[in-house]
Amino acid sequence: MQTKSRGSLFSFIYRQKPSISKNLAFSLSFIVFLVLFALLGILYIKYSMDMIRDLEKKADEHISRITGILTESVWNLDEKSIIGISTEFAHSELVNSIRIIDIEGAVLFEFKNPPDGFLKISRTGKIIYKDNVIGFAEISLSLKKYKKDLSQIFKVTALIFTGSALVLYLATGILLRVFLRKPLNDLYQGMIQIARGNFTHNFKYAKHKELSGIMQNFLIMKQMVKDRESAFISANTMLKQEIAEKKQSEEALRESESKFKNLFELSPQSIFLEEVETGLIVDVNMEFCKLTQFKSNELISKSSEDLKIFSKSDKETLISALKQSAEVRGMEIDFMVKDTSKGRAMISAKLIQLKGKLLILSVLLDITEYKKALKEKEELQERLARSTKMEALGLLAGGVAHDLNNILSGIVSYPDLLLMDIPKESKLRKPIETIKSSGQRAAAVVSDLLTLARGIASTKETMNLNHILDEYLQSPEFHDIKSLHPNVRITVLPRSDLLNISCSSIHIKKVLMNLVNNAVEAIDNSGEVIISTSNRYIDQPVKGYDEVRTGEYAVLSVKDTGSGISPDNLKRIFEPFYTKKVMGRSGTGLGLAVVWNTIKEHDGYIDVASSSKGSVFELYFPIVRKEIFNIKNHVAVEDYSGNGEKILVIDDEQHQQMIACGLLTRLGYDAKAVGSGYQAIEYLEKHDVDLILLDMIMPEMNGSETYARIVKNKPGQKALITSGFAETSDVKKAQKMGAGPYIKKPYTLEKLAVTIKIELEKQSV
C-alpha cells in the first residue's frame, strides 16, 4: 500500500512539472529568431553603408569618365557629341541628374529626375584640355535602386527567417516529443519499479537531465563516457580539418603557381626573373625575348650585365633601391637590343621567394617611342613659340613700316618733281639727289620692316638662285664686304643644273646679302665663307632647326669657318635686333629676322647647324617647273606722260594727296583728291574719271570696301591700289573685283607713270 502510494505521488509530481520539449522548442526558436533578426539588422546596416560607399565610388568613376570623354567635344563645342555622350550616362538607373557647363557658366546639357526622397551622392569635376579648365561636369547618383533592391531582399529574408523560426519551433517540438516521450515514459515506469523496490531495472533511455536526482550517479558516469567520446570526436574532427586545410593549401599553391606561370607567359609586358645573389637570369617570357632580340636559351643562366642588356651602374641603382624598400616602381632605365640599338624602358621590380630562393621579379615597359614622341613634341612647341613670336614682331613692324612709308613719300617723290624743273648744271641738283638717295635708303630699311610683317614678297616670279647669286656678286654691297674683310676668302660653288624657284628676287638677294655679312662677321681673323647651291629631294621630313617637309627643293647654303654660335644664342638669332644688341654684330639687327620672314613667305625652310668650327645656314626653296621670262628694259618717263585724263586720288592723309596730285599733274593728268571712301563715292556720283588712285588702308571704310561700292555704281571703273603696308588679302580682293596693279609707297615718278599708262591702255572688260 505504501509502495502504491509513493507511485501515485510520483506520478502526480511528474504531471505537475513543465514540459521539457515545449520549453526547449520555444526557447530555442525564440533565441534563433532573435539572433537571425539581429543579424538581419546588422547586415542591413552594413549593406546600406556598403551601398553608399559603392555609390560614392561609382559617382567618382562616372565624373572621371564623363570629364575625360567630354574633353574633345567641349573643346570643339560639338553640341551633338556632348548631348549624345551625356544622354548615354543619363540612361543609367543610378544617375539622378547630369549638368554640363562651359568655363563661362553656360549650360551645355542638363538632365534631372523628379525628387524621390532617397539619398543622393553628387560629384563635380573639371573638364581639362591641355592643362586648361574648359568646363565643369556635375553628376548625382541616387540610392533609389539600391534601396529598392535591399528592401526587397530584406523583406524576403525576414520572411524566410520568420518561417525558419516557426518551422524550427514546430520541428523541435515534434522531434523532442518523438525522441523524449518514450525514454521519459520508460524512465517514469522504471522509477515506479524502483519505488516498488525493483532496483535492478535497467534505465535504457535515461540520458537527460530531467532524470537528475535518482540517476545522478548514473548520469555522472554517462557524462564521463560522453566527455571522453566527445574529446575523441573533437580530436578526430580537428585532425580531419588539418588534413583538409593542408590539401587545400597545396591545391591553392598549385593553382597560384599555375596562375603566375600563365600571367608570366601571357603578359604583354616584358618580364624576367633573376637571382639576387648571383645575378643570373632564371626565367623570361616571350615579350622580354622580343624586346631584347635574344632567344630564351641565350638568356637563361646568364647575367643581364654580361649580356650587356643593362649597364652596371643602372643595375647597381636598382639593387640598392630594392634593398631599401624591397620594391621599385616606375624607375627609368636604358637597355640594349642585342648590341645593336639602345632603348629606354620603365622598370618595376620586387623581391620574391620562390622555391627557397630570393629572386627579383622585374617588369619592363618599353617607352622608347614615347620618349621620342615627347622630345618631338617639345621641339614642335619650341618651333611654334618661335614662329608665333616672329609673327607678332612682324605685325608690329608692319604697322610701323606703313606709317614710315607715308612719311617717306614726300622725301622720295618730291625730288623727282624738283629735278625735272632744275637745269642739269644747277648746284641744287646734287643736294636734291642726295635727299632722294637718303629717302630711298630709308625706304630700304622700311622694306626690311615690311618683310618682317610678311606678305611683301607676295609678288613673285620664276627665277634661278644662280642668277640671283650672280647679280649679288656684282653688287656694290658684295664688293664692300670684300673690302672690309680682306682676310676672308669667299668661295662660290653654284650647281649648273639648278632648278628654278618662284620668288621675289630683290628679297632673296637681301637674304643672301644678310647671310654673307653674318658669315664674314663670325670670322675673327682669317677664314673662309662658302656659298653654294644644290638640288635636293626630301623623301621624309628632316627635323633640324626647322622641320623640312617632303618635296623637291633648291637649296642655298652659306657656310663659314668662324667660332660658331652658342646653343642659347642659336635659339634666338632670328629675333629682330638680337644679333646686334646681344651678339654685338653690326647693321640694323634686322638681317636674320628678314631672312626668317622672307623664307617663310616663300613657303621655304631654314636649317642651321653650328659648332666651334663654324656655322652653316641652309635655305630650302620649293622648286617650280617653269621657264624664266626676260625682264623689260628701262624706259624714259616722258614716253609715259598723260593726255589730260582724269584721275581721282583717294587717300586719308593730306600730304599724300598733295604728293600724288603733284606727280600726276606733272605727268600731264587732271588730278583731283578726296580724303575718304565716302567722299570718293559722293564725288563719283556726280563726276566721271578715267582712273582712281586708291589708298588701301583708311579709317571707317578701307580701300577694298570703297572699291566694292564704286564698281557697284560704276562697273568696270579702273583703279590702281597704293599702300605703305604689305600686299594684303584686301588688295587681292579688290584686284579680283577689277582693280589694277598694287604700288607700294613711297613710289617714284617713273613707277607711277609706267603703271598708270599701262592700266589706262587696258581694254575695259
Q: What are the tens digits of pLDDT across the range 627-683?
A: 775 544 445 666 778 889 999 999 988 888 888 898 898 889 999 999 999 999 999
Owning domain of residue 524: 455-622
Specify the DSSP class assigned to residue 277. Answer: T
Of 302, 337, 366, the residue that ends a domain is 366
The 10s digit of each residue's pLDDT in 479-518 is: 888 888 899 999 999 998 899 999 888 788 888 988 998 8
Confirm whether 577 is domain-assigned: yes
Confirm whether 272 is domain-assigned: yes
CATH of residue 273's domain is 3.30.450.20
Count of structural domains within the chain: 4
User: Residue 108: helix, strand or coil by DSSP?
Assistant: strand
Separation of alpha carbons 690 and 83, rounded Å: 60
Q: 354 forms bridges with which residues in the sheet?
A: 357
Same domain, 650 and 518: no
Confirm whether 696 is domain-assigned: yes
Separation of alpha carbons 450 and 598, rounded Å: 10
pLDDT at 763: 62
Same domain, 584 and 669: no
Confirm whether 417 is domain-assigned: no
pLDDT at 13: 47
**pLDDT < 50: residue spans in the chain:** 1-7, 9-10, 13-14, 197, 199, 218-219, 221-222, 225, 455-458, 580-588, 631-634, 765
CATH of residue 518's domain is 3.30.565.10
pLDDT at 528: 94
Contact 563, 584 (CB under 8 A): no
Same domain, 193 and 308: no
Confirm whether 155 is domain-assigned: yes
Confirm whether 330 is domain-assigned: yes
Q: Quickly list DSSP for 528-591.
A: EEEEEEEEEEESS-EESSSEEPSEEEEEEEEEE-S----HHHHTTTTSTTHHHHTS--SS-S-H
Same domain, 666 and 741: yes
pLDDT at 710: 92
Same domain, 517 and 653: no
Of 318, 334, 366, the residue that ends a domain is 366
CATH of residue 691's domain is 3.40.50.2300
Same domain, 123 and 174: yes
Same domain, 694 and 726: yes
Of 203, 237, 258, the residue that ends a domain is 203
Confirm whether 404 is domain-assigned: no
Same domain, 54 and 170: yes
Same domain, 641 and 606: no
- CA distances to 240, 466, 504, 595, 607 from 448, in Å: 99, 23, 13, 10, 21
Nearest to 613 by CA among 573, 652, 660, 565: 565
Same domain, 719 and 572: no
Same domain, 607 and 648: no
Q: How far apart are the first and last CA of the chain?
A: 157
Chain centroid offset of residue 170 CA: 72
Same domain, 89 and 192: yes
pLDDT at 682: 92
Confirm whether 432 is domain-assigned: no
Contact 683, 707 (CB under 8 A): no
